[in-house]
Amino acid sequence: MPRKRDLIIKGFSKLLKEDKLKIVSELMDNQLEAIDLLKSFWYADPEKQKVFDEFSENTLTNFYIPYGVAPNVMVNGQTYVVPLVIEESSVVAAASASARFWSERGGFHAEVIDTVKEGQVHFLWKGNRNKLVSAFDDLKIRFRESTKLITANMEKRGGGILDFELLDLRKKIDNYYQIKVTFNTQDSMGANFINSCLEEFSKVLKEFFYFQPIFEDEEKEVNIIMSILSNYTPKCLVKAWVECDFEELDKIDKSMNGEEFAKKFETAVKIAEVDTYRATTHNKGIFNGIDAVAIATGNDFRAIEAAGHAYATRNGYYQSLSHVDLSEGKFKYSLELPLALGTVGGLTSLHPLAKHSLEMLGKPSAPELMMIIAAVGLANNFSAVRSLITKGIQVGHMKMHLMNILNHFKATEEEKEMAAAYFKEKTVSFALVDDYIKKLRHV
Ligand code: MEV
């Protein structure tokens, strides 16, 4: 009998993996089959499996997602084979088609605008603001002193703490101040480094108010609310763009010349600049590529998405992250977004495939990876908008999805070949494939 689903399980994380599997399998109709299925995705080598088990808690198995590559991604004259981890059928094909297209038109251009990351200590304090302002230089020295051991290695690599700023935010929340700290974390994403520094600063702050004689008794208490990096990284910014003469877009679609295509494309992107519903989908197409490379290289795609979407609202409402410029008879398409990435530390070295991906990309620095990833985001975005304003996305999308539908019906290789030929010029849908397979099998 399946276990009741509202049962609270105490101490689950401390159980042995086999026991966890057993408990979970009790939720399934066929327990033995369920355990076999989960185990079938384990690494054969227990040492390798242990690495994965230890990434997270309560690990039962591994969840596979396809790892593909987009060749011909030319960025600033250098060509990369870019790894993408994604389940959506058309993303790698779209990135590859766009990369190939632009490789014949000068490739992608990219520049890193800045690489600064930020963290905050948020606190409530009821004292005299002027005293805090005048003591802030002294406080900064103490902050730096307190983190000497943490920053030593980062400083050797050319990074470290950049600056501190005291923000008086009492108009927003009673007694609320913030210490905003900027960091350079070089090739590491730097989340642990930043958070460790911030937690030290909060200790220093507490002691400072308590022990400094300038503060009266009633000013000695500080309420540290939290110390944490900000995933909004508008100063860790990259720009990628493509450009060509209108004539070089002539052959994209039979029904329009290059200039007409460029103008229709511009209107499509303008719509994503003024309409939030379209902007969200438009940007989703950008993150199709960005997330896929971020995952393949062991980067935190949630942090990247959060920063990107926040950046998309910087003008007061949510807009497209990419923009078209048609001045001087040229089509110029650009994408600017924050990308806080790492190419050393964290999962980049622990996950064997993340390590592999970085090696395949020529062991890039974090700024180099920012440019590659921005180029892939733009590549996917270009492919999506190109399809939308010409043949629509369903033709390509459903062709790619055809194999998934055929797999659902457990089609044989022979059936797949026949179906691929049959649907070459036809609309693909689940119902039509179902119908076709039934006819083929004389059901
Ligand atoms: C699908 O994953 C992404 C698109 O919807 C993006 C877009 O509409 O621009 C095709």
Whether residues 4 and 33 share a domain: the answer is yes
Task: Determine the residue of 283, 284, 288, 386 to mutate for testing ligand 1's pocket, defined as the one with the most ligand atoms within 8 A of the Cβ atom.
Answer: 284
Same domain, 110 and 121: no
Rounded distance, CA 326 to CA 321, Å?
17
CA separation for the pair 162, 148 (Å, rounded): 13
Mutate to test the pocket of ligand 1, among 84, 92, 265, 288 (most ligand atoms within 8 A of CB): 288
Q: What is the pLDDT of residues 142-161, one digit of tens each?
A: 999 999 999 999 999 999 99
Q: What are phi and psi of 244, to 5 degrees?
A: -165, 165
Q: What is the average per-residue pLDDT within 202-208?
A: 98
Residue type at 164? F
pLDDT at residue 396 greater than cutoff 70: yes
Helix (H, G, I), strand (E, B) or coil at 299: coil
Specify if 185 maps to a domain.
yes
Nearest CA to ligand 1 atom 4: 285
129 and 272 fall within a common domain: no
For ligand 1, what atom is nearest to the CA of residue 272?
Answer: 9
Q: 421: which 2 tokens?
A: 């030929």
Q: How far is the CA of 242 from the centre of ligand 1 (A)?
A: 19
Which is the closest atom of ligand 1 to the Cα of 393? 10
Task: Specify if 33 maps to a domain.
Answer: yes
Residues 225 and 153 occupy one common structural domain:
yes
Number of domains in the chain: 4
Whether 109 and 129 share a structural domain = no
pLDDT, position 398: 79
Ligand 1: atom nearest CA of 381 is 9
Structural domain of residue 173, as residue ranges? 117-229
Ligand 1 centre to CA of 395 (Å) is 13
> Of 64, 87, 104, at which residue does a domain stop?
64
Asked if residue 88 has its Cβ within 6 Å of ligand 1, the reply is: yes
**pLDDT number for residue 4:** 56
- Do 380 and 250 share a structural domain? yes
Assess if residue 234 is contained within a domain: no
Ligand 1 within 6 A of CB of 269 = no
Q: Of 198, 229, 260, which one is at a domain's C-terminal end?
A: 229
Q: Do 96 and 182 fall into the same domain?
A: no
Q: Are residues 278 and 376 in the same domain?
A: yes
Q: Which amino acid, one-letter code, is at 193?
A: F
Our answer on whether the CB atom of 396 is closer than 6 Å to any ligand 1 atom is no
Residue 280 Cα, ligand 1 centroid: separation in angstroms?
9
Question: Please, which pLDDT band fits residue 3 given cuts at 50, 70 and 90?
Answer: low
According to the model, what pLDDT value does residue 5 have?
62
CA of 415 to the centre of ligand 1 (A): 30
pLDDT bin (cut points 50, 70, 90) of residue 325 is: very high
Neighbours of 174 (CB within 10 A): 9
Sheet with 160-168: strands ordered across: 160-168, 176-184, 117-125, 222-229
Nearest-angstrom CA–CA distance, 12 and 25:
14
Measured in degrees and rounded to the nearest 5, phi and psi for residue 395 equal -55, -55
Same domain flag for 110 and 124 = no
Q: CA 229, CA 224: separation in Å to the nearest integer?
A: 15
Counting ligand 1 atoms within 8 A of each CB, the residue from 281, 333, 386, 391 with the most, and so the one to mutate, is 281
For ligand 1, whether the C-beta of 380 sits within 6 Å is no
What's residue 59's pLDDT? 97
**In degrees to the nearest 10, what's the CA dihedral of 346, 352, 353, 359?**
80
Nearest to 22 by CA among 11, 9, 31: 31
Ligand 1 binding pocket includes 196 (Cβ within 6 Å): no
Residues 136 and 147 in one domain: yes
- Tell me if residue 259 falls in helix, strand or coil: helix
Pocket test for ligand 1, best of 267, 319, 388 (most atoms within 8 A of CB): 388
My answer on whether 277 and 329 are in the same domain is yes
- How far, in Å, from the CA of 72 to the mean position of ligand 1? 22
Other C-beta atoms lying within 10 Å of the C-beta of residue 345: 18
Phi, psi of 332 (to 5 degrees): -125, 125
110-145 pLDDT tens trace: 999 999 999 999 999 999 999 999 999 999 999 999
pLDDT in tens, 332-383: 999 999 999 999 998 998 999 999 999 999 999 999 999 999 999 999 999 9
**What does pTM read for this prediction?**
0.92
Environment class of residue 214 by beta-carbon count within 10 Å: exposed (0-12), middle (13-18) or buried (19+)? middle
343 domain residue, yes or no: yes
